[in-house]
Amino acid sequence: MTRAMTGLRVPRAPDQGFLVLTQSEVESIHSNALDLLFRTGVVVHSDPALALLGRAGALVSPEDQRVRIPVQMVQEALDLAPSTVTLYSRLGEPAMLLGAGGFHARTSSGATRVLDLQTRRLRTATSQDAADAARVADALPRVHGVSSMAVQPGDVPAELVDVYAVRTALAHTTKPLGYVCLNESLIESVITMAKAVAGGPEALRTRPILTALAESTSPLSLVSSQMAVLQAFALQGLPLTLHAHPIAGFSAPVTLAGTLVVMHAEILAMVTITQLIRPRTPVIYGMSSSVADMRGARNLSGAAEIGLLGSAVAHLARRCGLPALMSSGTDAHAPGAQSVMERLMTLLPPALAGIDLVNLTTLGTKMSFSLEQLVIDDVALCLVGRLLRGIQVDEERLAMDLIHQVGPAGSYIEAAHTRRYHREELLTPSLLVRDTVESWEASGAPTLGSRARREAERILAEHRPVPLTAEVEAQLDQVVQAAGREGRKRVGLR
């Protein structure tokens, strides 16, 4: 099994490491979420889902689309959901095994602006930016997956952005894609493209290259467009990231414990519906929860509390036997000290707590994409990975024979043991300045940001992902063209 598949192994038992919740606190949140689902329930804006829940024994109120879900129904769904989810590259190779103790990262979605590498100014994102974002992510070794909407291009028709974005991502990375739906009418077109790349429906189901985001609308609502994504992917047995995004103080209680109860209840409701549609559908317990800046009523993605919430998600997902995902963010508007600090505060605690996958949301509270920041994030992932790898203690690494041999006042620099283990034991991250001040000044006193910009420019100049075949390219183009024709019909154009 390759490192690309397993991610970075966390050297601890599941009940050890960074614990923000005790086991009794996890049980308290879980039991209160179950009580919330049955006593108050959730609103489900989907007639097929309401009918399915009603037949299974939930209490359905058609007048207000409120569903009260019994505890036993939720538990049966959790028992059915797989404990691990494997995502594949478009070359058919396993790329991420989630739920087995590894740590992974991928780009996130939603940025409508780009921090231009040359001008250093924000501008509207284009299709070329979407291609560049996928290609740089494809080259970075510690970024295991790519969001199809890491950059939302503004130069394509808004009603067709889903197919254009997926088409671009498939051509510019071989890594697994995360799909975010903006147009409900295009879900099947996106699945059709994934089937063409994977080699057909069965190949896509057994070696999924795509996972879709299905998100609740806090508090306690499941809207029709997200239910359409959930139903389309579950019907075909394709993996889903079930995502909740309550905002502490806005759409959930301001207390983190109360936010977790709302979030957990929403995830459990979606797990239940998914397993009713198709038992054993792979699902990932996902969170993009955030907190509010009460001074300006702004939604934050880089607050320290998000690191705590993400750590709690790792515990709650483990309680349910599901892989866990959370979003790590920053509210900085440019790469720099704030973006690095907030990235580590929202990334490191969940990683230590055992999260399986982190979505790397980008600058400006998820709204601005920066290739420079993505390169810096890869360095941060390198440092976090070394911490997760820990200290290996065995006879060879204790090196007692060598210690006795060298004795007092000796040197280890020329020892074969040093040559054998120094690269494995001592991390040498790229981009960080570790030379002398004289050497640093002689090279122009580069900052972390300027080094990251140069690395991003190098990748764009040199890196070419494995191309799609001409046959698959043609099939994808046909899907995009057909979606365009259907879109014109919907708005009354020929």
Does residue 394 register a pLDDT over 60?
yes
Contact 85, 5 (CB under 8 A): no
Averaged over 453-469, what is the pLDDT? Answer: 97
Does residue 4 register a pLDDT over 60?
no
In the chain, residues under CATH classification 3.20.20.480 are: 3-21+78-389
Averaged over 316-330, what is the pLDDT? Answer: 97
Q: How confident is the model at residue 9 (pLDDT cuts 50, 70, 90)?
A: very low
Nearest to 141 by CA among 33, 7, 262: 7
Q: How confident is the model at residue 1 (pLDDT cuts 50, 70, 90)?
A: very low
Range of lowest pLDDT (162-171, 248-257, 484-493):
484-493
Range of lowest pLDDT (14-28, 57-71, 337-351, 415-429):
14-28
- State which fold the 3-21+78-389 domain adopts: TIM Barrel (3.20.20)
Separation CA 288–CA 357 (nearest Å): 12
Separation CA 323–CA 325 (nearest Å): 7
Averaged over 172-200, what is the pLDDT? Answer: 97
End-to-end CA distance of the chain: 52
pLDDT of residue 14: 43
pLDDT of residue 371: 97
Does residue 488 register a pLDDT over 80?
no
Averaged over 145-158, what is the pLDDT? Answer: 95
Planar angle of CA 320, 322, 328, nearest 5 degrees: 110
Mean of the per-residue pLDDT values for the chain? Answer: 93
Per residue in 219-233, pLDDT (tens digit) is 999 999 999 999 999
Range of lowest pLDDT (14-23, 88-97, 273-282, 414-423):
14-23
Per residue in 189-203, pLDDT (tens digit) is 999 999 999 999 999
pLDDT of residue 366: 87
Averaged over 271-296, what is the pLDDT? Answer: 93
pLDDT of residue 16: 56
Separation CA 423–CA 34 (nearest Å): 49
DSSP string, 25-75: HHHHHHHHHHHHHHHT-EEE--HHHHHHHHHHT-EEETTTTEEE--HHHHH
pLDDT of residue 362: 87
Per residue in 79-117, pLDDT (tens digit) is 999 999 999 999 999 999 999 999 999 999 989 999 999
Q: How confident is the model at residue 2 (pLDDT cuts 50, 70, 90)?
A: very low
pLDDT of residue 297: 81
Does residue 278 register a pLDDT over 50?
yes
